[in-house]
């Protein structure tokens, strides 16, 4: 007999594989790839993911690689998201709040939609990848199906977490938002780049990053180019300007620009690629350095493949990611795409001790913490 439990409360009894419904925040690449990794892990161990609900944004399309890898029914719903200012590419938290408040009637319809999908799916557990609408659904009109919450951001609620010097109001709002995403969550899984103590009073367990299995099989080498990912395509102008001033450094950047072709060739030394998971990992494995807006998932991939990283955060959440990763030795932080700084840093970079082993133990931790029947049971 296997149980999904929290403390003394027994939630699910199941002698066979369990059925899951995923709900994923659609902003960026990280939560999408995390959900793919967990889906593959669960299926490998005899369980089933029946469908995926994904929050949508007018500014972003759902990447083809996500739909192909999931190979499941995918349903979209309106969800709050960060709103960048095109002038400076940074996210303005106050503009974001006002914008999302004006759209609140749509979000109430999303709550109803989510609740109906949970009821119709007839699953044992809902898995929430940092989607705010799930927390609100369970707070206002709680379904009977238990749910768990998965994200790196839950480390912000961990007593040992070290925050960067930042605006105190923004930090409080970030933690408040994070709390909303896991309201009434049965268990909270905090993805971490290193081992930390669990926090039972907060129903929190600390687990390794959810890296997809393909990353473990990649053969790495040091090529002659820099690899990068920019969440906001407005940063492309900054990359183009740098390349014109430094025409001999090959650059391969990935973006999520709407309606862009698979490959946008600026010149022989600069190419922008639409998001493609296999191509992204191929370029990561062969680069000499990685440039990113400090999303947790891709920084972890770079750490695993031992690639020095330049992190350029665009909002408070990414500032926390960048500060944490820099303390661990993953790379350096900048307020702009200063590729010269990364090139100067390359000779001093050293592998982050213990990270590869920690990441490789992910499946063991997940099966243990979920108390699910494992592949070899």
Spans of the chain, pLDDT less than 70: 1-16, 28, 58-60, 81-105, 372-377
pLDDT at 135: 94
Note the pLDDT tens digit of each residue in 103-124.
Answer: 566 788 999 999 999 999 999 9
pLDDT at 58: 65
Name every residue whose Cβ is closer than 8 Å to that of residue 172 and which is 6 or more positions away in sequence.
none
Note the pLDDT tens digit of each residue in 37-49.
Answer: 999 999 999 999 9
> What b-and-e string marks burial along 319-337, b requiring 16 or more CB atoms within 10 Å of the CB?
bbbbbbbbebebbbbbeeb
Residue 183: C-alpha distances to residues 21, 110, 262 (Å): 17, 17, 39
Is 0.95 surpassed by the pTM of this model?
no
pLDDT at 238: 87
pLDDT at 210: 96
pLDDT at 14: 52
């Amino acid at each position: 007999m296997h149980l999904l439990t929290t403390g003394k409360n027994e939630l699910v009894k199941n002698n066979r594989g369990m059925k899951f419904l995923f709900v994923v925040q659609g902003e960026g690449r990280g939560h999408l790839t995390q959900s793919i990794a967990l889906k593959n892990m669960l299926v490998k161990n005899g369980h089933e993911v029946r469908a995926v609900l994904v929050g949508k944004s007018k500014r972003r399309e759902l990447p083809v690689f996500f739909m192909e890898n999931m190979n499941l029914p995918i349903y979209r719903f309106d969800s709050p998201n960060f709103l960048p200012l095109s002038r400076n590419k940074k996210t303005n938290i106050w503009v974001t709040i006002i914008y999302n408040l004006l759209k609140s009637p749509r979000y109430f319809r999303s709550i109803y939609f989510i609740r109906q999908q949970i009821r119709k799916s007839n699953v044992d557990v809902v898995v929430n990848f940092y989607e705010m609408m799930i927390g609100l659904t369970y707070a206002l009109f709680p379904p009977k199906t238990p749910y768990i919450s998965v994200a790196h951001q839950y480390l912000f609620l961990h007593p040992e977490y070290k925050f960067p010097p930042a605006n105190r109001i923004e930090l409080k709002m970030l933690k408040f938002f994070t709390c909303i995403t896991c309201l009434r969550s049965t268990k909270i899984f905090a993805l971490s780049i290193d081992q930390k103590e669990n926090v039972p009073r907060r129903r929190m367990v600390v687990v390794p990053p959810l890296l997809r299995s393909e990353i473990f099989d990649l053969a790495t080498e040091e090529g002659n180019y820099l690899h990068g990912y920019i969440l906001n395509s407005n940063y492309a102008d900054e990359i183009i300007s740098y390349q014109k001033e430094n025409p001999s450094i090959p650059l391969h950047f990935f973006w999520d620009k709407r309606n862009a072709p698979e490959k946008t060739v600026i010149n022989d030394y600069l190419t922008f690629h639409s998001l493609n998971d296999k191509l992204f990992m191929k370029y990561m494995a062969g680069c000499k350095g990685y440039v990113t807006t400090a999303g947790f998932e891709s920084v972890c991939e770079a750490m695993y493949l031992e690639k020095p990283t330049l992190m350029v955060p665009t909002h408070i959440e990414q500032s926390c990611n960048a500060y944490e990763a820099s303390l661990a030795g993953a790379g350096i932080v900048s307020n702009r795409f200063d590729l010269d700084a990364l090139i100067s840093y390359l000779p001093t970079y050293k592998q982050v001790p213990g990270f590869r082993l920690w990441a490789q133990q992910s499946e063991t931790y997940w099966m243990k913490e979920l108390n699910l029947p494992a592949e070899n049971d």
